[in-house]
Amino acid sequence: MSDIPLAERRCLPCEGGIEPLGFDQLKPLLAQLDGWSLQEAGGHQELGKGFKFRNFVEAVDFVNRITPIAEAEGHHPDLEVSWGRVGVRLWTHVAGGLTENDFVLAAKIDRLPVRDA
């Protein structure tokens, strides 16, 4: 693994045949993130985090700030928006689980300013 901080790395293009990271590889990457958790969903591991906002407009604005980052990285999270809340889930579909790309995008999302709800 690289010594470069996650938020300064780039997502690498994924194609078939990529294996998801094992638990021993996930732990040190997860330790570099703030408030993200590992979740089991649909037979695979995902990264998840909930963000709270004062209202719906701030929640949608946050999603709109995630969008250009996801596009630039070519890696797209699953987003759930509701009044005052955004849920973000990351996993690499082609790998059937988590790859370093998921942690890179999570770290970049964590750099976005969020006002306390």
Work out the average pLDDT over 45-56. Answer: 96
Residue among 55, 48, 109 at smallest CA distance from 80: 48
Across the beta sheet with 78-82, the strand order is 37-41, 44-52, 85-90, 78-82
Work out the average pLDDT over 86-98. Answer: 94
Cα gap 69→21, rounded to integer Å: 23
Confidence of residue 116 (pLDDT cuts 50, 70, 90): low
DSSP 8-class letter at 55: S
**CATH topology for 44-117?**
Gyrase A; domain 2 (3.30.1360)
Kindly report the average pLDDT of the chain as a whole number. 91
Between 34 and 7, the more confident residue is 34
Residue 1 has pLDDT above 60, yes or no: no
Share of the chain above pLDDT 90, in %: 73
Residue 2 has pLDDT above 90, yes or no: no
